Amino acid sequence: MGFVKWLNLLTIFHLFAVTPIFSYSSSFTSKFLDLAKEPEVFDWMVDIRRKIHENPELGYEEFETSKLIRSELTKLGIPYKHPVAVTGVIGFIGTGSSPFVALRADMDALAMQELVEWEHKSKVPGKMHACGHDAHVSMLLGAAKILKAHEKEIPGTIILVFQPGEEGHGGAKKILASGALENVSAIFGLHVHPNEPVGEVTSKSGSLAAGSGFFEAIISGKGGHAAIPHHAIDPIVATSNVIISLQHILSREVNPLDPQVLTVGKFQGGDAYNVIPDSVTIGGTFRAFSRESVMYLKKRIEQVIIGQAAVHRCNATVSFLDEEKPYFPPTVNNEELHEYFNSVVGNLLGVDKVKRAKLLTASEDFAFYQEAMPGYIFFLGMENKSVEQLPSAHSPYYKVNEDALPYGAAIHASLASNYLLKLHQDLPLVQEKYNDEL
Ligand SMILES: *[C@@H]1O[C@H](CO)[C@@H](O)[C@H](O)[C@H]1NC(C)=O
Ligand SMILES: *[C@@H]1O[C@H](CO)[C@@H](O)[C@H](O)[C@H]1NC(C)=O
Ligand SMILES: *[C@@H]1O[C@H](CO)[C@@H](O)[C@H](O)[C@H]1NC(C)=O
Ligand SMILES: [Zn+2]
Ligand SMILES: [Zn+2]
C-alpha cells in the first residue's frame, strides 16, 4: 500500500532530518493551487457556482443545490450520505476509517432580490446568493476533485460537509445532531470576504465573530383615554424606560474591554394619538464574544424588562425565540489550529498573504461545530482593486470575484490533507521509529 511506503519514507525522514517537524510544503500539496487554477478545475468550479447562483434556495429548501452536489460527487466517484439535516450532503474521501477531518460549506441563499444585471443573475424573484454560499459550495467541490485525485496518499478520511440553512437557521446544529460528525478530530471552514485582496486570507486565534441571541417582550398595562392617564396604566412610558435601562446594562454593568451589543430594533404599540394602548411589543438582538457574556446579557435582559415594567405597574413577558431565531454561540477559533493554519496557508500562499482578522459583531453558525470539536474558520479575500470595489455581504449588488475560487479550493484541500498527515506523523510514527530502533 502506498501509505505504508509513505510511512517508511517519513520514518527515514524522521530519523535523519534535523527538524522533526513535517514540512507542509510537501510535494503534493504545493501543487494544489496550480491544480485548482487549471481550467479542468477552475472552469468547472465557475460553472457550478453560476448554476447555483441562478437558482438560489433558502435554508432547508436547498433541494436542487443538494442534487447538483450529489451528482458531481457521483461523477467524481466520491461516496456520500444523504439526506442529513433535510438537504445536507456528507461526502467521504480517503480510507473510510479514522482519523477524520471535516471541511464545511454552507448552501443557502437569502430572501432578497438581486439587483446585479449579468448573464447569471438569480432566476428566482426575491431570492439571491448575496453571501457567497454558492462560491463556498463550488470551492468545496473543487477541493474534493483535487483530493480525490490524491486519495491514495491520504492517511485517514476527509469528510465534506455541505450544510443547509446557515443564514439564521442553525443548520450546523442539525448536522451535529445527525451524528454524522462523530469522531471528527477537527473541522475547517471559510467565508469569502469582499474587502480583502484575492490571494490573501485573514483570521485570528480565539474569538472571531459574536454569539448572538434575539428577544421579544410584551409589556402590558391598561389602555385608556389619553386625556385621563390616571385611569390607565401606560405601557408606552414603561417601555421607554425599559429600553433606556437595557442600554445601561452595556454602559454600567459589562466590562468595556469585552465588546457587546444590545439593540432594540422593534417597538410596536398604539395606533391613535389620543389612546393609551393596552400593551407594547419590543424585540431586539444581543451579541458578545464569549458564551459567559452572552448568557449574562440574556439573564439581565429578562430581569431588567420585567423589573422596569413593574416600576411602572406593568407586567412583562420575555421570550428568547428559541424556535424561530435560535441562539448562535460565539465563533471561537482553536489556538492550535490557528498555528497550524498559519503554517499551512503561509506555505501555500506566502506568509505575507496570511493576515490578522478584526472581530466581527455578525454571527456564523460554524460556531456550533466549534462547541463540539476543535474548529477553525477564516476569511478568503476576493477584492481586486484594479477591477472594482465589491459591495458588502447581504447587499442586493453583491458579487463574487470568481478568481478567488482556486484559492479556497486549494486551501481547503491543503488544510485537510496536511492535518491527517500531521496526525499520522505525530502518533504512529513515534512507535514506528522505536520499532525500527529495536
Ligand atoms: C465513532 O466511534 C465509535 C467508537 O469507535 C463508533 O462506535 C461510532 O460508530 C463512530 N461513529 C461514526 C459516525 O463513525
Ligand atoms: C399583572 O399580573 C397580575 C397577576 O396576574 C394581575 O393581577 C395584574 O392585573 C396584572 N397587571 C397588568 C397591568 O396587566
Ligand atoms: C486582477 O484583475 C486583473 C484584470 O482582470 C488581472 O489581470 C489580475 O490577475 C487580477 N489579480 C488577481 C490577484 O487575481
Ligand atoms: Zn450571510
Ligand atoms: Zn455567509
Any binding-site annotation on 432? no
Ligand 2: does its nearest atom lie under 6 Å from the Cβ of 220?
A: yes
Please give the pLDDT value at position 425.
Answer: 81
What is the number of other CB atoms lying within 10 angstroms of the CB of residue 129?
Answer: 27
Please give the pLDDT value at position 235.
Answer: 98
pLDDT tens-place string over residues 210-268? 999 999 999 999 999 999 999 999 999 999 999 999 999 999 999 999 999 999 999 99
Let me know: does 143 contact 78? Beta carbons within 8 Å. Answer: no
Question: Does the pLDDT of residue 128 top 70, yes or no?
Answer: yes
Residue 313 alpha carbon, nearest atom of ligand 2:
13
Distance of CA 421 to the CA centre of its chain: 25
Domain 211-319: CATH class, spelled out = alpha beta
- Across the range 330-348, mean pLDDT stands at 96
Please give the pLDDT value at position 275.
Answer: 98
Q: How many CA atoms lie within 13 A of 135 on its CB side?
A: 26
pLDDT tens-place string over residues 3-34? 444 444 444 344 333 333 344 445 457 799 99
- In this prediction, what percent of the chain has a pLDDT beyond 70? 91
- Across the range 107-125, mean pLDDT stands at 98
Question: Does the pLDDT of residue 120 top 90, yes or no?
Answer: yes
Grid coordinates of 241: 424606560
pLDDT tens-place string over residues 384-415? 999 999 999 999 999 999 999 999 999 999 99
Give the helix/strand (H/E) hosting 217.
strand 211-220
Grid coordinates of 417: 490533507
5 exposed, middle or buried (CB, 10 Å; 0-12, 13-18, 19+)? exposed
Compute the distance between CA of residue 91 and CA of residue 81 in angstroms, rounded to an integer. 6
Give nearest CA residue, ligand 2 atom 5.
Answer: 315
Please give the pLDDT value at position 26.
Answer: 53
Give 310's pLDDT tier (boundaries 50, 70, 90).
Answer: very high
- In this prediction, what percent of the chain has a pLDDT beyond 90? 88
- Across the range 403-432, mean pLDDT stands at 83
Please give the pLDDT value at position 319.
Answer: 98
Q: Where are the domains of the chain?
A: 2-209+330-431, 211-319
Residue 387 alpha carbon, nearest atom of ligand 3:
2
Cα 166 to ligand 5 centre (Å)? 7
Residue 315 alpha carbon, nearest atom of ligand 2:
1
- Across the range 257-282, mean pLDDT stands at 97
- Across the range 88-93, mean pLDDT stands at 98
Ligand 2: does its nearest atom lie under 6 Å from the Cβ of 219?
A: no
Please give the pLDDT value at position 28.
Answer: 59
What is the rounded average pLDDT for all residues in the chain? 92
Question: Does the pLDDT of residue 178 top 50, yes or no?
Answer: yes
> Residue 281 pairs with which residues in a beta bridge?
218, 268
What is the distance in angstroms between the CA of the first residue and the CA of the last residue of the chain?
24
Any binding-site annotation on 193? no
Compute the distance between CA of residue 36 and CA of residue 41 in angstroms, rounded to an integer. 5
Tell me yes or no: is domain 2-209+330-431 CATH 3.40.630.10: yes
